[in-house]
Amino acid sequence: MSRAATTDVLVVAAHPPELAGLKPLLGDRLRASVHDVEVAAEAVGIGLAAAAAGTAMALRAHIPRCIVLVGTCGAYPDRAPDLGLLQVIAASRIRLASTAAVEGRGAFPGPMLVGVDPDASLSQALAGDDVRRVGVATTLAITTDDALAGRVSSALECEVEHLEAFAVVAACARLHVPTAVVLGVANRVGRSARDEWLRHHQAAGNAATDVVAAWLGRGAPGAIRT
């Protein structure tokens, strides 16, 4: 990808409400210069397929130097019992999850990409003392069974679940665009997930965008590399 980038930092989310917390900094158009860093934000779509296509389109439109994915996630209670609601995490690794594969009733073909890692330097620059680095499992659907949540988190060694992280980071990796993932915990994964998410998703999403806004306010260290 050309280094004549039109956007220094592109912030993406699954859907527009998860970007609302950036409007005080970027304006209603979600585009601004912050300390001479050109920043834009846009939604790329909900779920694996939509997010992959949307990220590819955003990469082509913005030619960003880096991408930061924001949003909300669910914490696996068995794997991360101390990960509280509204806590912000930064992904250290992302694994593609298949419940059929986890239960031994399906298998990924050998050449298939099933694991991606966000950019370590960019993630470290975004993560402060209050942001925990954890593994993220990307599932095709929200896990709504307590026992299955435990099996997925144990098999993949991941602390949280998010539907789009794998698609976004994999798309960026193909074009060597550094990517970080910053998410607010909105629920515990399992039977109570949907009800908890409805109560907490706005505050959790704002917690994630607050971290990104603070990073942008510091001049987005780690975003621009020569």
Which range marks the domain in which residue 130 is found?
7-217
Q: Which of 147, 159, 161 is nearest to 191 (CA)?
A: 147
User: Is 154 within the bounds of a domain?
Assistant: yes
Helix (H) or strand (E) holding 155: helix 146-156
The predicted pLDDT at position 130 comes to: 82
- Dist CA 108 CA 147 (whole Å): 22
* Residue 142 within any structural domain of the chain: yes
At 167-221, the pLDDT tens digits run 999 999 999 999 999 999 999 999 999 999 999 999 999 999 999 999 999 999 9
Q: Give 196-201 contacts, CB < 8 A, sequence gap 24+.
A: 196/85, 197/72, 197/74, 200/72, 200/85, 200/86, 201/17, 201/72
pLDDT per residue as tens digits for the range 35-76: 999 999 999 999 999 999 999 999 999 999 999 999 999 999
Is the pTM higher than 0.85? The answer reads yes
Written as six digits, the tokens of 102 are 């986890």
In a domain, 66, yes or no: yes
Model confidence pLDDT, tens digit, residues 124-162: 999 877 899 999 999 999 999 999 999 999 999 999 999
Give the model's pLDDT for residue 4: 45
Task: Tell whether 223 is covered by a domain.
Answer: no
Q: How many domains does the chain have?
A: 1
